[in-house]
């Protein structure tokens, strides 16, 4: 049995015990659309028609004291304007749209990977564009932001990579899942550019399992939640998903077991994450997890490990740079939180039939080799 399969089995055994799910107050709301497969009674509710994300909404009991909205933008992967204006224009669009939200969002969470290669001018360009957004902005880092100068510029611009605040009855936590990668550069005597290039290659094999929360930060989370009613809503923002989806692309945090241990007492935890550039939904123990779209480009689903609760997004048209990408608006009304994907390229975010899904053609893929052959 491969290591990946062994880990998957362990995750199911540890986290998906019978009867353990997020808060049972989950309800279908008006924003839910009913999928064709349900209307026709089709029982082929396998991965392609998995039933949770037929609802694009989440209910959280005992939630907001007052209704409010917040906005999510992430994975803009900005190059300097001289290299690529396409990505710039999409961030400008996202900023304009967030600022124009009506009713306005209370805050914008930027979920990491503002820059593509972590350069100062890329990060500063991101700040400049997002200055269009006048509401409160909070930031967590992505790996693309960090590994050129080990976060020096990012910290100068945005301060700490993890934080918490309470807003209208909800405890929000920004987690840093990117800065504790194992040191692969010192022994190989890499330059900052080389270190960053390996980190910026999603399917590279040199940077290894860099995504993690870390014991120190988990202790901080535990302390942060110590005074919080265990049934009240907690929303955790992270760049990487807080469970194991596909480790070769760091679609996980390597210490997901410890994360689960810390969050286990809390019955109403919602994790909202970036990095995957795709629609995702999963439930792990008492935590539900939602993957967000990038503004830059969409990624196909990994060849294995897509959560069965995910209703896949459409297969994007590579000729349309606004397809398969976008942002999210999250509303908290009375006792529920609703996520609305704003995908710029089309109205239907989710697949309507199997051929619309990248999962309709199973692939068996090999990891790359060339980055292991040198020059290191």
Partner 1 sequence: MTTRTTFLFALCIASLVGLLVEIAVPVGPANANKDPVTPQQLKAYEEAFMEQVRKGDLLFHGDAATAKQMNVILTNTGMACAMCHPFASDTHPHAFPKYQVSMAKFATLRDMINWCIEKPNQGEKIDSDSDAMKALEAYIYWSNTGSVLVPGRY
Q: Cα 41 vs. chain centroid, distance in angstroms?
A: 32
Comparing CB distances to partner 1, the nearer of 163 and 297 is: 297
Residues 6 or more apart whose CB falls under 8 angstroms from that of 335 comprise 25, 59, 60, 61, 62, 63, 64
Comparing CB distances to partner 1, the nearer of 44 and 82 is: 82
Q: Alpha-carbon distance 100 to 87, whole Å?
A: 20
193 lies in the binding site for partner 1 (CB under 8 A):
no
Residue (of 31, 29, 49, 30) closest to 41 by Cα position: 49
Strand extents, DSSP E, the chain: 57-59, 68-73, 107-110, 136-139, 163-167, 170-174, 234-238, 269-273, 280-284, 287-291, 326-333, 336-343
1 lies in the binding site for partner 1 (CB under 8 A):
no
**Site residues for partner 1, window 212-251 (CB under 8 A)?**
248-249
Query: Do the Cβ atoms of 270 and 235 come closer than 8 Å?
Result: yes
Nearest distance from C-beta of residue 180 to partner 1, angstroms: 22
Comparing CB distances to partner 1, the nearer of 266 and 301 is: 301
Give the range of 2-10, 133-141, 296-304, 337-345 binding partner 1 by CB under 8 A.
296-304
Q: Cα 260 vs. chain centroid, distance in angstroms?
A: 17
Comparing CB distances to partner 1, the nearer of 84 and 224 is: 84
**Site residues for partner 1, window 70-89 (CB under 8 A)?**
79, 83-84, 86
Nearest distance from C-beta of residue 288 to partner 1, angstroms: 26
CA distances from 186 to 144, 189, 207, 316, 376 (A): 19, 5, 12, 39, 11
The correct pick among 172, 210, 245, 299 for binding partner 1 (CB under 8 A) is 299
How many residues bind partner 1 (CB under 8 A)? The answer is: 36
Nearest distance from C-beta of residue 244 to partner 1, angstroms: 17
208 lies in the binding site for partner 1 (CB under 8 A):
no
| Residues counted in the chain | 376
CA distances from 209 to 121, 134, 266, 284, 358 (A): 28, 36, 27, 20, 25
Give the range of 4-12, 151-159, 211-219, 295-303 binding partner 1 by CB under 8 A.
295-303
Residue (of 268, 216, 212) closest to 244 by Cα position: 212
Nearest distance from C-beta of residue 190 to partner 1, angstroms: 15
Nearest distance from C-beta of residue 319 to partner 1, angstroms: 5
Query: Do the Cβ atoms of 158 and 146 come closer than 8 Å?
Result: no
**Site residues for partner 1, window 311-370 (CB under 8 A)?**
315, 317-319, 321, 355, 358, 361-370
202 lies in the binding site for partner 1 (CB under 8 A):
yes
Map tokens 């995908």 to a residue.
343
Q: Cβ atoms within 10 A of the Cβ of 232, count? A: 17
The correct pick among 25, 99, 201, 224 for binding partner 1 (CB under 8 A) is 201
Comparing CB distances to partner 1, the nearer of 172 and 301 is: 301
What is the three-class DSSP state of 171? strand
What is the three-class DSSP state of 358? helix
Residue (of 12, 42, 56, 28) closest to 343 by Cα position: 56
**Site residues for partner 1, window 98-117 (CB under 8 A)?**
116
Nearest distance from C-beta of residue 203 to partner 1, angstroms: 4
Comparing CB distances to partner 1, the nearer of 141 and 324 is: 324
**Site residues for partner 1, window 246-275 (CB under 8 A)?**
248-249
CA-based radius of gyration for the chain: 20
Query: Do the Cβ atoms of 189 and 158 come closer than 8 Å?
Result: no
The correct pick among 169, 192, 208, 300 for binding partner 1 (CB under 8 A) is 300
Comparing CB distances to partner 1, the nearer of 74 and 268 is: 74
Comparing CB distances to partner 1, the nearer of 263 and 293 is: 293
Comparing CB distances to partner 1, the nearer of 26 and 117 is: 117
Query: Do the Cβ atoms of 123 and 145 come closer than 8 Å?
Result: yes
- Tell me which residues touch partner 1 (CB under 8 A): 79, 83-84, 86, 116, 201-204, 248-249, 297-300, 302-303, 315, 317-319, 321, 355, 358, 361-371, 373
């Amino acid at each position: 049995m491969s290591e990946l399969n062994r880990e998957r089995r362990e995750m199911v055994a540890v986290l998906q015990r019978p009867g353990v799910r997020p808060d049972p107050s989950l309800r279908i709301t008006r924003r839910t659309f009913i999928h064709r497969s349900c209307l026709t009674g089709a029982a082929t509710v396998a991965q392609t028609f998995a039933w949770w994300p037929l609802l694009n909404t989440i209910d959280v009991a005992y939630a907001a004291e007052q209704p409010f909205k917040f906005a999510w933008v992430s994975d803009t992967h900005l190059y300097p304007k001289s290299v690529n204006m396409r990505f710039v224009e999409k961030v400008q669009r996202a900023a304009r749209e967030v600022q124009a939200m009506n009713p306005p969002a209370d805050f914008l969470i930027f979920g990491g990977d503002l820059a593509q290669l972590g350069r100062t001018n890329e990060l500063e360009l991101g700040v400049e564009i997002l200055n269009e957004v006048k509401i409160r902005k909070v930031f967590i880092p992505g790996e693309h932001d960090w590994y050129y100068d080990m976060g020096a510029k990012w910290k100068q611009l945005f301060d700490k990579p993890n934080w918490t605040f309470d807003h209208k009855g909800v405890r929000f936590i920004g987690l840093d899942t990117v800065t504790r990668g194992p040191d692969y550069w010192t022994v190989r005597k890499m330059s900052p550019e080389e270190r960053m290039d390996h980190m910026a290659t999603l399917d590279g094999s040199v940077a290894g399992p860099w995504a993690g929360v870390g014991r120190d930060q988990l202790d901080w989370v535990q302390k942060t939640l110590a005074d919080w009613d265990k049934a009240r809503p907690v929303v955790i923002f992270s760049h990487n998903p807080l469970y194991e989806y596909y480790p070769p692309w760091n679609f996980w945090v390597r210490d997901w077991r410890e994360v689960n241990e810390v969050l286990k007492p809390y019955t109403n935890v919602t994790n909202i994450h970036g990095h995957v550039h795709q629609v995702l939904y999963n439930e792990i123990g008492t935590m539900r997890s939602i993957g967000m779209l990038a503004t830059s480009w969409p990624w196909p689903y990994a060849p294995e490990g897509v959560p069965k609760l995910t209703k896949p997004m459409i297969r994007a048209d590579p000729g349309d740079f606004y397809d398969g990408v976008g942002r999210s608006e999250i509303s908290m009304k009375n006792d529920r939180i609703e996520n609305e994907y704003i995908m710029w390229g089309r109205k239907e975010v989710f697949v309507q039939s199997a051929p619309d899904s990248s999962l309709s053609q199973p692939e068996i893929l090999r990891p790359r080799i060339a980055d292991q052959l040198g020059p290191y």
